[in-house]
Copies of this chain bind each other. A is one copy, B any other.
Amino acid sequence: MSPEETRARFAAARVARLATADAAGHPHLVPIAFAVDGDTIYSAVDAKPKRTRALRRLANVRANPAVSLLVDHWDEADWSRLWWARADGHGRVLDPDDPEARRAVDLLRERYPRQQAQGEVLAIAIERWSGWSPTP
Which of A's residues lie within 8 Å of B, judged by CB?
Answer: 14-15, 17, 19-31, 48-49, 51, 64, 66-70, 72, 74, 76, 79, 82, 84, 86, 88, 114, 132, 134
Cβ-defined contact, B31 with A68, below 8 A = no
Query: How far is it, in angstroms, between the C-alpha of A74 and the C-alpha of B81 when the chains are bound?
Result: 20
Cβ-defined contact, A66 with B15, below 8 A = no
In the complex, 21 of the A-B residue pairs with CB atoms within 8 angstroms, ordered by the A residue number, are: A14-B74, A14-B76, A17-B17, A17-B19, A17-B72, A19-B27, A20-B27, A21-B21, A21-B25, A21-B26, A21-B27, A22-B25, A23-B25, A25-B64, A27-B67, A27-B68, A29-B69, A29-B70, A30-B70, A30-B86, A79-B114
The verdict on A66 contacting B25 (CB below 8 Å), with A17-B17, A84-B30 known, is yes
Cβ-defined contact, B15 with A68, below 8 A = no
Copies of this chain in the oligomer: 2
Cβ-defined contact, A26 with B66, below 8 A = yes
Q: How far is the CB of A74 from chain B (nearest CB, A)?
A: 5
Q: How far is the CB of A25 from chain B (nearest CB, A)?
A: 4
14 A-B pairs besides A19-B68, A26-B88 with CB distance below 8 A are A15-B74, A19-B19, A19-B29, A20-B27, A21-B21, A21-B25, A25-B64, A25-B66, A27-B66, A29-B29, A29-B68, A29-B70, A31-B84, A48-B79
